[in-house]
Structure 1
Amino acid sequence: MEKEELAGLKNNLDFVAIDTETTGLDPSRDEIIELAATRFKSGKIEDQFSTLVKPHRGMPKYIEFLTHINPDDLSTAPEAKIALKDLFSFVGDSVLVGHNVPFDIGFINHHSALNKGAVLTNKFWDTQEISRVYFPFVSDHKLSTMLKFFHITPEAAHRATADAEASGLLLIAMTEHIIKHHSMMTNARLLDLSKQAQLNNSLYDYLHLLVEYQRSYVLKGEHTTPLDYAKPNVIENDIPFHNISLDEVFNSEGLLSQKFPHFEFRSGQLEMANKVKEAFQNTKHLAIEAGTGVGKSFAYLVPAMIFAHKNKTRVVVSTNTKNLQDQLFYKDLPQLKKMLPLPFKASLVKGRENYVCERRWNDMLMEQSTALIPYEAQALLYLYIWKQLTKSGDISENSSFDRKRFNIIWKRICSDRYQCMGRKCPHSGKCYVLNLRKHIENSTIVVTNHSLLLTDLRMENTTLGKYDYLVVDEAHNLMDSASKNLGFEVGYQDLVNLFNQFAPATKRKNVGLLNQLDFMLKRSVIPETSNEQIQMITKSLSEQISTMRKISLELFTEAQDLCQQADSYSKLRIKNPEDFPHLYESLDKLNKQWHSFLKQLSNLADTFSMLNSKQVPNYDTLNESINGLVKRSVDIQVGLDILENPDLMNNALWIENDLRPDPKTPVSTFCYAPVDVSLQLNEMLYKNIPSIIFTSATLALRQSFKYFFTQSGLSLIPPEQLDEYIVDSPFDYDKQSLLMISSFLPEPKDRFFINQALGCVEQLVLSVDVGTMILFTNYKDLNSVYDYLSEPLYHRKRPLFAQGKTYSRSSMLEEFKSYKNAVLLGTNSFWEGVDIQGDSLSMLILFKLPFQVPSEPIVEALIDKLNTENKDSFMHYMLPNALLKLRQGFGRLIRSKEDRGIVLIMDSRVSNKYYGKYFKEVLPAKCMEIKSELELLNEVIRFFNVSKQ
């Protein structure tokens, strides 16, 4: 659009941006402490209103810290009744704007009504909702994130006046962006979806303004500028090959030294690269532990790239976490592309259920013209812009779309092996999965994850194709991943999704296989006998599905209730089916009904396959759908059969409830997983792939790989086929760190432990003003420390971040890194994969030893199995697992040669138990046992005072 046209649109932007600060999130319990409104006229600020509001019950300390509102100022502020009346007078009948403005309006109306005042009925535009629709590629949709995206700098975040003004400026910036980059046709489609979504008047009114405005310029021709935010899933470095050696890349005068900022020569990195090269050349497996700071990613990527190019093959690289997968693909490989004269092509690959299916997407869009229910329309609102812009079709790019919330919709449009028509699909040219597989075929590096790696092996390499060389990074997690992926789950939602593919619960024409078959029969010219036969089968299937819906609801509701009653952290292990007679009676009823249903479905498939395809409209698509549903139904049947007759000697069986309950449907799932995956990994992986590199910072215990080899099944392969090597960390831990054990504290099971530990932690964080991370093994302890530290840290003006308290993991880490004296509390996912260099992290506190929860179903089942085999489950499993986890946690502190800091283990079992010596042995620093809290504080203060000198 031309500048004058954008200026013309601004003249239509008259509104009042509002914001509130409150003492909490619940209007029935919490109060308003600040109100602000900014009037915008023709896109410019014209007037402002703001007032503090006197609360009746005071203000929580964390709100005081967040807003910097002085409680003394609130004591002299006007009462809510007066403040709200003044606000209403300022606002009038203007359109209201805000970031999550329904929250502000809800609070205002609730408290105004309490005071017998008026309520706001104004139209409103929600900048958060607009950002979700139009900006699916930002990391999240917080006000601060969107302001940063548009380079808008608020004067004081988390104060009502600044946030109101910022919301107004954001609306103007987003509007200009939308008009510039999105056509009238796109906005008109979104307008229709917003109407069908029936969310509120917010989005529809705003989109209506945009479409009407664009319509007035349509005769002049639209000049929208294409956007390019989407990340690629293929990287190519198409340059001539230079035959360079690993020495030329990694040595002190090498290419990395010349081109990589702040490069430090690390002999261990070159050692590792040579070991990887030798393993590939000699077609052997290699287990290689690379200590923190070695730079293992480059140490395996570079030899893999050289080897793959020279041998015209490809190397698959598998990680456990999305963070490392993204780091390899979006950071490490682009850096190597810039620095090294190495031709390569790399593909990023995930499980096919992560990708949208072009055919199914188009089918769903066609339904928009007939009848989408509001839930479906809302899901499409968050998908539409992303689908226009994505290059990969990978839904994980889309921060607007909640896959859990919209699981039913995603299942209908994602790539599905049961419903895939392959090359016969009319959309195969645009298929994300097929196009990615073409890239995989001629890639030299394929980056994937353990989950897909294992699933693909079960599916005979349908996605990754055949490959002979593999790098398994984060290899210490391979066994857990295998246990999850070599088992199966059957949840209520899985069955409902399948039933809906046959016939949706809502009566909608042309949706679902049975409706499509009915429509086909009316238009086809097949013989009358065939027509009647198919009608009879579909009627029977419809009745059976209706019956199975009821049985499934009963079964999974009972499973959910049993799990809740057990009070076992949303997981209930089934050790003996006879203990749950009523549950298994329902399961048996469903299983018998399923067998009957599957017979009829197979009958339909056979009957349909004998029809003359020329006499049936859309025959190929219908035939593929029927066959796909047969395969899926057979897989579920196999699962139900196993659930009825489980092998509980070698597998764990449990019910798991979703932690985010849905009041309308059961949230229970039956889970079944092997407890020992060593045999499966040997058969599937080690025997089929000639050369595999297993690497991690924590594979060995006391210089031995025995535990890893036993757990992973590598002990089953011939010794001459497996090399092992340890590359030590380049860091001098004795000089850079101080490792202390608080021997004076009671053991964690002691009832006095928590109070003494809380007091000790408080003294520590108040004694030294340094970046501190405290790692926990459960949320109960984390929440206790959070509640205990909130007020004292507030008074010291030190930021406190805690997992599960508003911030996402990535946002919390970014915020934490921006300070030098913040305190971060984290649980399981923070024990590994966290890289914080410099002063942001100087003190690491490990609250308890990281033993696995023995009541966790797979852990408990493995303990039972080991005990049955007369093995000491503690020494064979629990202890070595905790030792490796502790090493991972310790590794969070020192991340560069400049880092210095303290690691404190608050679990006195390291000093007092016979097994404590093992924990001391596996950590790379000398251990200091502290006998009193005073000694601890003195040592901590001394360390940081010396560090400052």
Structure 2
Amino acid sequence: MESINNEVKNTENFNNLPLEQLEFVAIDIETTGLNSEWDEIIQIAGMRFKGEEVVNQFVSLVKPKGKVPKFIEHLTHISPQELKTAPPIKEVLKDFCNFIGDSILVGHNIGFDFNFLNQFIVDNGGFPISNMHWDTAEIGRIYLPFTTDHKLSTLVSFFGIELMNAHQADADALATGKLFNALTNYILNHYGYMLNARLMDLAMQANLKSGLYEYIKWIVRQQRSSALSGKKTVPVVNELNNVIEHIAAGSIKSIPEVFAEDGIFASKFPNFEFRSGQMTMAEEVADAFSKQDFLVVEAGTGVGKSFAYLVPAIDFSNRNKSKVIVSTNTKNLQEQLFFKDLPQLKKILPLPFQAVLVKGRENYICERRWQELLQEQTRGITSYDAYGLLNLLVWKEHTNTGDVSENSSFDKNRFGVLWHKICSDRYLCGGRKCPLFQSCYVMKLRKNIETASIVVANHSLLLADAQMDNSTLGEYQYLVIDEAHNLMSAASKNLGFTLSYVDLNSLFNQLVYTSRKYSGGFLSQIIQTLQKSMLTTDQKTHIETLCTKLTGEIDSQRQVITKLFSLAEDHCVEAKSYNKLRIKDINAFEDIYTLLKELSLAFKDIMKDLTALDNVFSTLNSNQVKDLDVLKDNLKGYLSRYMETEEIILQLLNPDLDNYALWIENDPNSERNVPISTFCYAPVEVGEHLNRLLYQNIPCIIFTSATLSIRGSFKFFLNQSGLSLVTEKNVRQSIVESPFDYDKQSLLLIGSFLPEYKDKFFQSQALGCLEQILTTTNVGTMALFTSYKDLDAVYDHLSDTLFHLNRPFFAQGKGVSRNSLLDEFKKSKNAVLLGTSSFWEGVDIQGDSLSLLILYKIPFQVPSEPLVEALIDKLERENKDSFMHLMLPNALLRLRQGFGRLIRSKTDRGVVLIMDSRVSKKKYGIYFKQILPGRCIELKDEQHLISEIGKFFNPLPANI
């Protein structure tokens, strides 16, 4: 009873107070882990604010019962010695609860703090905290959708708030309180009353009544009370766009005019360094454009390949009034090209151009479907959908592009059902007939693509569009494929399909949706429209009968798909195959295939009745039914979508297991309480597909990457990519060497003395070597692994040592995102970072932050990975040596990518250590030594290793 009164009293106290008089306590805790059931609190802090002033504070360490993990010591800088003398949790919690009283509590991800605090309070015989609590992370997600993320460090940086000693409770609590004030002022100054009133309604519908709802309600009251004063909000200016216009009247006579030592770049770029390789590559690209050739060009690290193809592409486009598509594999490079490289060229080049950034259609919001959902909100939507809409509303108000990937607040996977209701959908698009055609983001984008000179796309979109007759990119004759070494893996993903429980359930929900509070879907919409129509009673009855029959057929399949995907999930778990289970023989999965057959037969009935409904609608006219054309178009769209899904189910029933890999994949990170399995089907070899989709239709394609050749030959890439099938034209090949002097800048060391990786003594000796290296050097170090198992073993072994050395220590998978790890690593000159697969490429760390690169193991592909295993089987059926044809070439290219992380500029220096002695001991090891540049030393023992590293970083003076 007391806790309820606290909340009521609290509400009465704050509702009419302006921000400068509002009193709240900003709180934060540090813990030994993320689970409140078995992890412990090691520090608690509270900062009492009145307005912007801190009027009181509570800070205490807490003595844990168990051991504190090393990565927590590194993160918080709280040592076990300090905790030994700290008071126990029961004592600290009593004092803390007295300190906070019935105050409003503010925290960053405060739900985490509440879970821990209340778990320990209840465990110690107390009543849980029920104070009103406001979450700055949640508020930030709603009102700051354009920041890169919503971590405390990011948001305080956005507002220019200093955060010293991050990950200590007192520092974080102080920063959180300041952030709350800054956020609130920002909202009051920039977001209007009507928008906040709508957000308040959504917070109510999302059942966020004790926290976020009360906060936004307080904001609305503040704005209502100040309305009479005439104070107006200043609209937020969002400069993110997907079009770059460069209006210029100049031209260039030749490529050297831009790249030469006395060229345009030299005159405009500060600290310009002439790179002959860059100019050579640019001239080759320009020549390939003019002759409509295919060009495969490997550009070594430091060549500057982006400018080497963008400049000739812009020049050629300008001269010939043609469009050039540039496709990348990763979002990072796509955005680097568009938001960094092209704006730089806009400032420098005298050439006019229009560049457009384009992604897959499903990334864009549909204006019509968005408006329909907002109208539906007044009739009631699910609380989950309302929660998702909270993270979309402010973004939608200010977006110029409609591209949801620019909205860091909204998780498309988490709110997949909601996004399916409002994203642009080719099946449900009215095109020019849509009443909101003029404001459609996709149509605006397509108009820009038509007139663009440079279109920056990605491999997924490129391949999907090629399969749909270039419906998005339009007709084009010139294509640059950057990160071309990833084209084959992108093709495998995009030329097959996946089918999950969520996919099918969303498909069903689009036609029929029923919950305890709400029912809807397209069939319900038809019946509601019919009731107000001019149709005869017989016509209405006939259509309603078909809709009712369809509803029954769909509802009966919900249990089937739940059982099907639960069974698939169980099979995958039982196989203990790291969440991926390949289906090599469908007869071995009889229970799954029995359900698939049942689903297939049900789809035949659904398709039959959907077709019957479509036939009935074709006999109606618009005088009888309101918005008949829209209903007809939507019905045809659903019919097409169900037809496509039926084809997928039929392919699953009759898979081509010689040429495709079929497997079940579980998502262990899924937050939703539904089956987590997915059926995946992908071509084993993609060369013929790429030849049919791209090479036979596009006259000029440039393929480029830093790693395409092996020992000077492109044979492996040509075979894998299908370029070897191109017979009607010559495929030009070029290697542009890196401008770096690897002999002077780098040293390659090979741990020849270590046991082989599979030897039982390898790990203990490797760990000893790493510890010795890190205690005798003090340089920025990154170690790359091929598995989390190895990474975790190294992390556990080194944690104590690095903690005592006071060296920053970071590891992938230890609670911090990849980008955050890299940002923190770059800030230090002697940090140690452990990374797995995603760190082997696309990581650019210049300067002293990275001087020692350790490659723990040769990066061979995992042979049990479904696609790899299927390709090995295929090669062996063809009597080909899978090791020489697949495993070794892939490992060589991957090792080159890893090696490329070290030297990123002409002033970088560093050592690469390969700890896998197979490079020295196996016959194939010679290939690894041949493909890596610079000096190579094979180490005799650990002493030799330490000596060579020491000599490189601490060379003796020349006169000694």
Give TM-score scaled by structure 2 length.
0.96
**Cα deviation digits, residues 704-747 of structure 1 (max 9, x gap):** 11111111111111274321111111111111110111011111
Q: Once superposed, what is the RMSD of the aligned Cα atoms? A: 1.6
Residue 902 (str. 1) matches residue 943 (str. 2):
no
**Cα deviation digits, residues 13-68 of structure 1 (max 9, x gap):** 21111222223333332333222222112332222222223333353333333223
Give the C-alpha shift of residue 510 in structure 1: 7.0
Q: Which residue of 2 aligns with 1:163?
A: 172
Residue 98 (str. 1) matches residue 107 (str. 2):
yes
Residue 125 (str. 1) matches residue 134 (str. 2):
yes
Q: Is the 1:355–1:394 Cα contact (8 Å) retained in structure 2?
A: yes
Q: Which residue of 1 aligns with 2:704?
A: 695
Give the C-alpha shift of residue 218 in structure 1: 2.2
Give the C-alpha shift of residue 83 in structure 1: 2.2
Q: Is the 1:510–1:516 Cα contact (8 Å) retained in structure 2?
A: no
Distance 2:956 2:345 in 1: 35
Q: Is the 2:811–2:834 Cα contact (8 Å) retained in structure 1?
A: yes
Q: Is the 1:81–1:117 Cα contact (8 Å) retained in structure 2?
A: no
Distance 1:948 1:762 in 2: 28
Residue 453 (str. 1) matches residue 456 (str. 2):
no
Give the C-alpha shift of residue 419 in structure 1: 0.9
Q: Is the 1:266–1:294 Cα contact (8 Å) retained in structure 2?
A: yes
Give the C-alpha shift of residue 141 in structure 1: 1.2
Residue 675 (str. 1) matches residue 653 (str. 2):
no
Distance 1:727 1:737 in 2: 19
Could you tell me which amino acid in structure 2 is paired with residue 333 of structure 1? L
Distance 1:97 1:473 in 2: 46
Distance 1:605 1:696 in 2: 50
Distance 2:956 2:160 in 1: 37
* Aligned 1:332-411 pairs, distance under 5 A: 332-411=341-420
Residue identity over aligned pairs, in percent, reads: 56
Distance 1:63 1:717 in 2: 56
Q: 2:575 aligns with which of 539, 555, 566?
A: 566
Secondary structure at the aligned position of 2:92 is classed as: helix
Distance 1:507 1:117 in 2: 36
Residue 932 (str. 1) matches residue 941 (str. 2):
yes
Distance 2:349 2:947 in 1: 50
Distance 1:488 1:139 in 2: 30
Secondary structure at the aligned position of 2:391 is classed as: helix
Q: Is the 1:544–1:593 Cα contact (8 Å) retained in structure 2?
A: yes
Distance 1:80 1:554, change over 3 A: closer
Give the C-alpha shift of residue 111 in structure 1: 2.1
Distance 2:890 2:704 in 1: 17
Give the C-alpha shift of residue 262 in structure 1: 2.0
Q: Which residue of 2 aligns with 1:154?
A: 163
Give the C-alpha shift of residue 143 in structure 1: 1.0
Structure 1 window deviating more from structure 2 (163-172 vs 449-458): it is 163-172
Give the C-alpha shift of residue 221 in structure 1: 3.7
Q: 2:792 aligns with which of 783, 793, 801?
A: 783
Q: Which residue of 2 aligns with 1:465?
A: 474
Q: Which residue of 2 aligns with 1:3?
A: none
Residue 269 (str. 1) matches residue 278 (str. 2):
yes
Moved over 6 A (4+): none
Q: 2:509 aligns with which of 479, 500, 513?
A: 500
Q: Which residue of 1 aligns with 2:9?
A: none
Secondary structure at the aligned position of 1:108 is classed as: helix
**Cα deviation digits, residues 897-931 of structure 1 (max 9, x gap):** 11110111111111111111111111122321112
Structure 1 window deviating more from structure 2 (607-616 vs 504-513): it is 504-513
Q: Which residue of 2 aligns with 1:817?
A: 826
Q: Which residue of 2 aligns with 1:536?
A: 545
Q: Is the 1:799–1:821 Cα contact (8 Å) retained in structure 2?
A: yes
Distance 2:384 2:661 in 1: 36
Give the C-alpha shift of residue 615 in structure 1: 1.0
* Aligned 1:130-209 pairs, distance under 5 A: 130-199=139-208, 201-209=210-218
Residue 915 (str. 1) matches residue 924 (str. 2):
yes
Distance 1:456 1:505 in 2: 35
Q: Is the 1:740–1:929 Cα contact (8 Å) retained in structure 2?
A: yes
Q: Is the 1:269–1:294 Cα contact (8 Å) retained in structure 2?
A: yes
Distance 2:279 2:334 in 1: 22
Distance 1:398 1:762 in 2: 42
Distance 2:230 2:111 in 1: 36
* Aligned 1:457-856 pairs, distance under 5 A: 457-506=466-515, 511-662=520-671, 664-718=673-727, 720-856=729-865
Distance 1:382 1:573 in 2: 38
Q: Is the 1:18–1:97 Cα contact (8 Å) retained in structure 2?
A: yes
Distance 2:451 2:301 in 1: 33
* Aligned 1:59-74 pairs, distance under 5 A: 59-74=68-83
**Cα deviation digits, residues 82-137 of structure 1 (max 9, x gap):** 32222222222111111122222332232233333443221111111111111111
Q: Is the 2:382–2:518 Cα contact (8 Å) retained in structure 1?
A: no
Could you tell me which amino acid in structure 1 is paired with residue 559 of structure 2? K
**Cα deviation digits, residues 872-891 of structure 1 (max 9, x gap):** 11111111111111111111
Q: Is the 1:509–1:515 Cα contact (8 Å) retained in structure 2?
A: no
Secondary structure at the aligned position of 2:429 is classed as: coil
Corresponding residue pairs, total: 943
Q: 2:44 aligns with which of 8, 19, 35?
A: 35
Distance 1:423 1:928, change over 3 A: same
Distance 1:554 1:306 in 2: 58
Q: Is the 1:287–1:725 Cα contact (8 Å) retained in structure 2?
A: yes
Distance 1:191 1:850, change over 3 A: same
Q: Which residue of 1 aligns with 2:59?
A: 50
Q: 2:902 aligns with which of 882, 887, 893?
A: 893
Q: Which residue of 1 aligns with 2:10?
A: none
Structure 1 window deviating more from structure 2 (474-483 vs 214-223): it is 214-223
Residue 426 (str. 1) matches residue 422 (str. 2):
no
Could you tell me which amino acid in structure 2 is paired with residue 946 of structure 1? P
Give the C-alpha shift of residue 456 in structure 1: 0.1
Structure 1 window deviating more from structure 2 (150-159 vs 739-748): it is 150-159
Residue 863 (str. 1) matches residue 872 (str. 2):
yes
Secondary structure at the aligned position of 1:615 is classed as: coil
Structure 1 window deviating more from structure 2 (443-452 vs 243-252): it is 243-252
Secondary structure at the aligned position of 1:418 is classed as: coil
**Cα deviation digits, residues 390-428 of structure 1 (max 9, x gap):** 111111111111111111111111111111111111111
Residue 14 (str. 1) matches residue 23 (str. 2):
yes
Give TM-score scaled by structure 1 length.
0.97
Could you tell me which amino acid in structure 1 is paired with residue 949 of structure 2? V
Q: Which residue of 1 aligns with 2:84?
A: 75
Secondary structure at the aligned position of 1:671 is classed as: strand
Residue 242 (str. 1) matches residue 245 (str. 2):
no
Distance 2:957 2:319 in 1: 51
Q: Is the 2:327–2:482 Cα contact (8 Å) retained in structure 1?
A: yes
Distance 1:30 1:638 in 2: 49
Q: Is the 2:414–2:671 Cα contact (8 Å) retained in structure 1?
A: no
Q: 2:125 aligns with which of 89, 101, 116?
A: 116
Could you tell me which amino acid in structure 2 is paired with residue 628 of structure 1? G
Q: Is the 2:300–2:706 Cα contact (8 Å) retained in structure 1?
A: yes
Secondary structure at the aligned position of 1:286 is classed as: strand
**Structure 2 gap segments, 5+ residues each:** 1-15
Q: Is the 1:133–1:382 Cα contact (8 Å) retained in structure 2?
A: yes
Q: Is the 1:318–1:473 Cα contact (8 Å) retained in structure 2?
A: yes
Give the C-alpha shift of residue 222 in structure 1: 4.8
**Cα deviation digits, residues 241-274 of structure 1 (max 9, x gap):** 3234211110111111111122110000000000
Distance 2:858 2:225 in 1: 67
Give the C-alpha shift of residue 760 in structure 1: 1.5
